């Protein structure tokens, strides 16, 4: 049988492992933590889930960061319901992370959006230089068009996490841990898997 991760029976170490994997996922394009799912609540109350590239994960501030087009569905969803969920699963390590937090959506040309756009790669910028808004109806598959630049559509979603659930599947016994922050105070508990 495989040896479990050193954090297997350690609540504190499991949390450190969770943030470590997300932080590494930011840089490692092959990691499943590079592309988690962000779930929002639509204006009509329906759930909406989609894959996004994770741009930053900071355990000190408990913040995650994503980039998106300001014209997308997410803008309306986040303005109505800033509570969001993030999900990621790594089949190789058999670790699932489920996070809950509150999002702040930084509009194009705000300081945070400007700085992030300046640091972004040319190939990523193209996504924001689409003439039609993401989700706009088209009469053919190739009508989205391109504009110059794209910074006017570039926005940043910052999420402050207040709940994190760790699930580690392991043959000898799965491990599920739940972490909740109230302000800076952290409560950590094991849960039945």
Contact positions vs ligand FMN (CB under 6 A): 35, 48, 50-53, 66-69, 72-74, 134-135
189 forms beta bridges with 178
Q: Cα 97 vs. chain centroid, distance in angstroms? A: 11
| In the complex, least distance from residue 27 CB atom to ligand FMN, rounded to whole angstroms | 15
CA distance 139 to 36: 31
Q: Which is nearer to ligand FMN, 17 or 69 (CB)?
A: 69
Q: Which is nearer to ligand FMN, 15 or 22 (CB)?
A: 22
DSSP string, 5-28: PTTTT-HHHHHHHHHHHHHHHHH-
- Token pair for residue 31? 């990691």
| In the complex, least distance from residue 42 CB atom to ligand FMN, rounded to whole angstroms | 9
Q: Which is nearer to ligand FMN, 51 or 110 (CB)?
A: 51
Other Cβ atoms within 10 Å of 6 Cβ, number: 10
Residues in contact with 56: Cβ distance below 8 Å, sequence separation at least 6, in sequence order = 26, 63, 64, 65
Q: Which is nearer to ligand FMN, 52 or 85 (CB)?
A: 52
| In the complex, least distance from residue 191 CB atom to ligand FMN, rounded to whole angstroms | 29
| In the complex, least distance from residue 127 CB atom to ligand FMN, rounded to whole angstroms | 7
| In the complex, least distance from residue 63 CB atom to ligand FMN, rounded to whole angstroms | 16
- Token pair for residue 173? 């016994």
| In the complex, least distance from residue 91 CB atom to ligand FMN, rounded to whole angstroms | 16
By C-alpha distance, which of 181, 190, 188 is closest to 63? 181
Q: Which is nearer to ligand FMN, 12 or 136 (CB)?
A: 136
By C-alpha distance, which of 66, 61, 51, 55 is closest to 23? 55
Q: Which is nearer to ligand FMN, 33 or 166 (CB)?
A: 33
Q: Are 156 and 112 in contact (CB under 8 A)?
A: yes
């Amino acid at each position: 049988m495989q040896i479990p991760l050193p954090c297997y029976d350690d609540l504190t170490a499991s949390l450190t492992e969770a943030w470590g994997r997300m932080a590494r996922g930011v840089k490692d394009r092959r990691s499943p933590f590079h592309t988690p799912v962000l779930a929002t609540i639509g204006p009509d109350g329906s759930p909406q889930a989609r894959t996004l590239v994770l741009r930053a994960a900071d355990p000190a501030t408990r913040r995650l960061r994503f980039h998106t087009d300001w014209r997308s569905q997410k803008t309306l969803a986040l303005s109505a319901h800033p509570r969001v969920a993030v999900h990621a699963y790594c089949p190789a390590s058999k670790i699932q992370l489920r996070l809950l937090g509150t999002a702040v959506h930084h509009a194009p040309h705000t300081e945070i959006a400007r700085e992030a756009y300046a640091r972004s790669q040319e190939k990523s910028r193209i996504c924001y230089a689409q003439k039609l808004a993401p989700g706009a109806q088209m009469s053919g598959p190739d009508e989205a068009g391109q504009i110059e630049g794209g910074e006017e559509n570039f926005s940043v979603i910052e999420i402050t996490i207040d709940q994190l659930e760790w699930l580690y599947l392991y043959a000898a016994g799965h491990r599920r841990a739940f972490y909740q922050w109230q302000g800076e105070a952290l409560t950590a508990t094991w849960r039945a898997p």
